[in-house]
Structure 1
Amino acid sequence: MLVSKKEVEVRYAETDQMGVVYHGNYLVWLELGRTQLIKDLGFSYAAMEEEGIISPVIDIQVSYKKPLRYGDIAVVNTWIEHYDGLRVIYGYEILTPTNELAVSAISTHVCVKKNSFRPIQIRKVYPDWHEAYEKAKKSEVK
């Protein structure tokens, strides 16, 4: 299983009045993690969008464990939790500077045609992505 790592320096604008990262900003960091994973696999999400394919989030679950603060360096670990050729579930852990779990999350995505929102089968339209995702995904218990 491939686990991609992306460091994020917490900016002042990402914090709330309590001095901790505002919860909605973690969703942006999850996107940074997904983009890094796709890049680590040798692909470009931007190139896919240029071809008229997008990958909307259809479900997301986030669990907040420890706060991050301005100036901290967070590490976003991202992997493919599940992949079936149509749907991708990404797993995430965001770690504090002391390697404690700050956030755990999963997000579910499908690829669709941008102009119609009709789903596509990744394995048919992007066989190279399909093969890379199959190799990189978390081993599933059968």
Structure 2
Amino acid sequence: MFVATKEIEVRYAETDQMGVVYHANYLVWMELGRTALIQELGFNYAEMEKDGIISPVMDIQVSYKKPVRYGEKATIRTWIEHYDGLRIVYGYEIFTADGELSVTGESKHVCVKKDSFRPISVKKKYPDWHEAYEKAKKQSVEA
């Protein structure tokens, strides 16, 4: 399975008064993981935005297992859970520095024209990106 890995050092600003990472910050970390995955596949999301295409979150699911605290490091693992040429579902696991599972999640996206929010076919607009996602998806299925 093709999995991108990104390490995060927990900053004080990401925590609550108890020194525990505030729950919404895990969503930001998932975005960092998604960006790392896209980069490891050889693409750049910012370049797609310059073309007038964005990929908004349609749905997001998060399950909290164990807190991550200030001064620790966390590791985000990101992969393509599902891709059909239009919709993309990314899977996530976030681990504590000790390797314990902290968070699991999924985010669903679709690529749309920025000005109209009309969906586009990744296969037609970005054939190289489509091929890379198909290959990464197959690796996920074969694992």
What corresponds to 1:95 in structure 2? 95
Higher helix share: 2
What corresponds to 1:139 in structure 2? 141
What corresponds to 1:72 in structure 2? 72
Runs of 4+ residues over 6 Å off in structure 1: none
SS at match of 1:139: helix
What corresponds to 1:81 in structure 2? 81
SS at match of 2:22: coil
Q: What do the CA deviations read for 1:32-64 (whole angstroms, capped 9, x no partner)?
A: 000000000000000000010000000000000
What corresponds to 2:108 in structure 1? 108
Task: Provide the rounded CA distance (Å) in 2 between the counterparts of 1:110 and 1:61.
Answer: 16
Task: Provide the rounded CA distance (Å) in 1 between the counterparts of 2:126 and 2:85.
Answer: 10
Task: Provide the rounded CA distance (Å) in 2 between the counterparts of 1:8 and 1:51.
Answer: 30
Letter in 1 for 2:100: E
Task: Provide the rounded CA distance (Å) in 2 between the counterparts of 1:100 and 1:132.
Answer: 30
Q: What do the CA deviations read for 1:92-135 (whole angstroms, capped 9, x no partner)?
A: 00000011100000000000000000000111111100000000
Deviation at 1:17, TM superposition (A): 1.5
- Per the normalisation by structure 2, the TM-score is 0.96
Task: Provide the rounded CA distance (Å) in 2 between the counterparts of 1:120 and 1:114.
Answer: 10
Runs of 5+ consecutive residues of structure 2 not aligned to the other structure: none
What corresponds to 2:47 in structure 1? 47
Percent identity over paired residues:
73
Q: What do the CA deviations read for 1:42-95 (whole angstroms, capped 9, x no partner)?
A: 000000000100000000000000000001110000000000000000000000
Letter in 1 for 2:132: A
Deviation at 1:19, TM superposition (A): 1.5
Task: Provide the rounded CA distance (Å) in 1 between the counterparts of 2:100 and 2:114.
Answer: 38
